[in-house]
Chains A and B, each alone.
Chain A
Amino acid sequence: MNEEYNCFEKNNDSDIGKGEAVKKPALRVEKSRNLYFESKSSASMEFPYWYTRRWEELDGDILIVRRGEALKSGFEHLTPTIYPGELIVMGKTSYLRGSYPMPWLSEAYFMDAEDEMYKEALESGKLSSDQVSTMGKGGGNVTESVGNVISIAGKFGLRKEEMPILLEVAKKWKDKSVDDVGHKYEQLVPEYSEKEAIMRSVVCMFDSGYTIPQGREVINYYYPLQYGIDGIIDICQESIGKVAGSPDMDRLYFYKSVMSVLEGIKTWILNNAKEAEFMASLEKVVEQKKEYLEIAERLTRISSQPPESFHDALQMTWIFHLAVLNEDTISGLSPGRLGQVLYPFWKRDIDRGVLDNSKTLELLECMRMKYTELDCFASMGVVGGVLSGNTFNNLSLGGLTKDGNSAANELEMLILEAGITCDTPQPTLTMLYDEKLPEEFLLKGIECVKTGSGYPAWVDNRTAMEFIVKNFSAEGMGTEEARAWAVGGCLETSAGSWMPLNLNGKVYWIPGGSAPATSVGVHFISLPKLLELVLYRGEDKRIGERVFSDHKIKLDSYENIWKAFQNYFRKAVKALTLTNNIQHDAWRKITPSIVNSFLKPDCLKNGRDIGSQGSRYNTTFNIETCGTVNLINSLASLKKNVFDEKKYTIDEYIKAVESNFGFRTAEESGSYSLFDQVKKIDYSKWKKIHKHSLDAPKFGNDDEYVDSIYREWQNWFCSMAHEYTSLYDKPMYACQISVSSHAPMGAATLATPDGRLCGTAFADGSVSAYPGTDRNGPYALFSSATCWEHSLSQNSQMNIKIHPSVVKGRLGSKKFLELIRGYMRKGGFHIQFNIVDSRMLRDAQENPDKYRGLMVRVAGFTQYWAELGKQIQDEVIARTEYEKI
């Protein structure tokens, strides 16, 4: 296995290569990684069984108390597992890549296709995205049932003997889960039938209230690090004494539920301590035996007390990270600025001489393996179509301190080094770029990204702060607090706070998340699909169903097309906002967050969970879009070819789109980019219009013709988003990342007037050029991308692919950094890179077994090539590869 990993570097073809820096992790970590490569995503029924059992036992009790007890029971009954060689221990389940279904959120998607629950979900459009999504066929995905293992959602393996209990438990939640209860009430929204059609046509990717209701946010580790578990229990106990019997009794129940869950977490930790002792009792190798015993001691210590060392603190943050992930189906729970949070512990150990850089690096590599092992159990549409099997634990680096100085530190240098030596997808890294950051630190980031890992991504600190202040000022956000921000999930700019950590008689202001989930609300509207509906007057030709009533606007001018588009976009946003607000209301009432809540300032202080706006900041619902650049290019093509130059009539365009410009569909050709497409016999009939469509002005070339259309869209979208309000009566805002949704949403969309073909992926992100259309180099792309003000939106996303030879050596690194600086100085928010040779990606597609360790950057995350679906693989291969910068 060891030799196979990175084997692509040994390829004799000297033209095919990857980044230059090649380093290895510690031997124990290499072994852990090999174990990971050999393991499959596995589902377990332990937690859902015990959760449901306890939930039923407490029928009639106060709901949040019941939930707390159910979670407690789940944690207490998890089978403890310690793997040989680990220094950071514990996992979501007893499997290495373990996860489990949460039928209290949603249960239909893992039922048998013949089951009534499954059929109902299909009818209401909840599973439509599953049908257009593909899952990676390699790596750890269990894509089909084999022997005693049943495949669920094309990814998770469940032992056959556990299937009956899964079905029994799932049935207990019928009509009681968040999904079912939300569905019952969302039908009262007048626009509900429109919403169903929107889902069936995949104008929208998925509902947000019951699929992945938490995440895309930054966790806060402050309370466990400062007070320890017993200390938090004491805070709850004391608070109960103050609020019991007083008005606003919900506080009492919240504190009670927090205590229950903490007791469960405590037992879970102690069970693992006992398991470590058991492993020690079997161990004959002295060093390993000693390590097991140290693990047992450490776990026992932090099951009640605050951490005493860096190693303790790192282990504790991991446990609480897991604890949040085990309370909900979550993607994108980011550790945030972990290097700054843990720095006080690290510095103390270094000063005391009990820790050195080499040991720190090994611990950080172990941490990387634990994050990489995370899986999120969800439907095919969610886990395959959107997440690509990733869980988006984004670790942010750099940025500014509370008082406005560079926040970069030595521990963050080692985190970057661990990202090089142990190049795994998780945690992905993001550099909060600020002009105040030291050159050496930035160059370390460059060294890391040059390995081909796809991280760190680079985001502009000041643009993010500007967005944070604008978005949260009504809740008291100021410049100082805005500096505590970090990236949640892929690229969701998330509010943070500074908390006073007392250590060694000193106060350290550590940053952490202080707002709940973002990217809740409207999850991905397919912009090209909406344009298609405009052309076909509300009818979806793919599924043969009417989605919207006829807009009744004559498509005889560009302005009218734009008007009709705005009309449909508003309709979609309205229907989806209202229905998703109901789902989220069902979520907060049935499965309120307890673990994530007590971690987030100021829930513990005010006795409210995050569903009752206990967090310091609560303006977090957004409207996510997908396919921006294909929409803009299509509008430019229609404007140019139909209205300005009158080469074709709009009806001719409509026919050309429906005929897929004379090509077979992506599904028929098996290719999801413009590469390798197959012509139909009547291709010549459409050849000219297709060429003119491809030749029309394209975003990414510093061409004002198309950039002005882009700017108009951004200014309108970022402004109109505020007209819609979340469940918490807060204005919503624009969010523009695609994650992986640009592939399945492309699969559900006909050809587009920009020349893109039916079923192929859209351009990724929101400011990445459509593959092959950015012909004037990166700086022209930057000019197009910054033709609008990025702080108006929660994010913008740009992917660039560069051939490794372009950034080779020290000079290449400096040139590379200047490129990033150039973009940030122009007002760009985010940029990330694949430093890779496209020919190698093609080889990897044909010979996946040779490339088990190969990773690529998709759209806000890095993933193993072998675990990506073909749709995304094709799209990444097709991206423009820069051979000079």
Chain B
Amino acid sequence: MQNICKDCKYYLSLDVFNGLCKKTKKDIAPDDTEKSCYEKQQMCKFCKKFTFSQTNESLGNCMELVIAYPDMIAKTCRDFIWK
């Protein structure tokens, strides 16, 4: 998996097209790849309790119970556990 800016804990979203790097203060796009300061942020896809859907890569399950989506930021989720 590539280090995509929108998955980084230093990514500050401006809109669906653009963002800023909280660390370098540079303008970045969510889909940019960054190697220097990338650090994963809490997202469903990085959570131990999340399982990807077999049929749709943009969907999955949380705790095998409820539908969820991998790209949701889980910074505020009390149940998040790193994979």
Contacts and interface: CB of A to CB of B under 8 A. Distances in A.
Interface of A: 35, 38-43, 45-46, 49, 53, 56, 76-81, 83-84, 94-97, 140, 142, 146-149, 157-165, 168, 267, 271, 278-279, 282
Contact of A282 (B23, B56, B58): B23
A44 B75 CA distance: 15
Contacts of A161: 58, 69-71
Interface string B30-70: 11000000000000000000000000101100000011111
A76 B76 contact: yes
Contacts of B17: 40, 146, 149, 157
B76 to A, nearest CB: 5
A45 B16 contact: no
A379 to B, nearest CB: 19
B75 A165 contact: no
28 contacts: A38-B14, A38-B18, A40-B16, A40-B17, A41-B15, A42-B13, A43-B16, A46-B72, A46-B73, A49-B72, A53-B66, A76-B76, A80-B75, A80-B76, A81-B12, A84-B20, A95-B14, A95-B15, A95-B16, A146-B17, A148-B31, A161-B70, A165-B68, A168-B59, A271-B76, A279-B22, A282-B10, A282-B22
B58 A165 contact: yes
A168 B69 CA distance: 10
Nearest to A160: B58
A39 to B, nearest CB: 4
B18 A94 contact: no
A267 to B, nearest CB: 8
Contacts of A96: 14-15
A162 B76 contact: no
Contacts of B20: 84
Contacts of B56: 164
A39 B14 contact: yes
A78 B59 contact: no
A629 B22 CA distance: 54
Contacts of A53: 66
Contacts of B25: 84
Contact of B18 (A39, A49, A76, A146): A39
B30 A159 contact: yes
Q: Which 3 A-B pairs have the closest CB atoms?
A: A157-B16, A165-B69, A42-B15
Interface residues of B, number: 28
A56 B67 CA distance: 11
Nearest to B76: A77
A97 B15 contact: yes
Nearest to A46: B72
B22 A45 contact: no
Interface of B: 10, 12-18, 20, 22-23, 25, 30-31, 56, 58-59, 66-73, 75-77
A325 to B, nearest CB: 18
A267 B75 CA distance: 13
B32 to A, nearest CB: 12
A45 B72 contact: yes
B59 A164 contact: yes
Contacts of B16: 40, 42-43, 95, 142, 148-149, 157-159
Contacts of A279: 22
B8 to A, nearest CB: 13
Most buried by A among B31, B59, B69: B69
B76 A79 contact: yes
B45 to A, nearest CB: 10
Contacts of A162: 58, 69, 71
A53 B68 CA distance: 9
A164 B69 contact: yes
Contacts of B18: 38-39
A83 B25 CA distance: 11
A147 B18 CA distance: 13
Contacts of B30: 148, 159
Given A148-B31, A282-B22, A45 B76 contact: no
Contacts of B70: 161
A97 B17 CA distance: 12
Contacts of A49: 68-69, 72
Given A49-B69, A79-B76, A94-B73, A163 B58 contact: yes
Given A95-B13, A158-B16, A279-B22, A168 B76 contact: no
B14 to A, nearest CB: 5
Nearest to B75: A79
B31 A81 contact: no
A567 B76 CA distance: 57
Nearest to B67: A168
Max chain A CB contacts within 10 Å: which of B22, B66, B69, B76?
B76
A561 B72 CA distance: 60
Contacts of A40: 15-17
A164 B12 contact: no
Contacts of B15: 39-42, 95-97, 140, 157
Contacts of A148: 16, 30-31
Nearest to A150: B16
A94 B12 CA distance: 8
Contacts of A56: 66
Contacts of B12: 81, 83
Contacts of B13: 42, 81, 94-95
Contacts of B67: 165, 168
B67 to A, nearest CB: 6
Contacts of B68: 49, 165
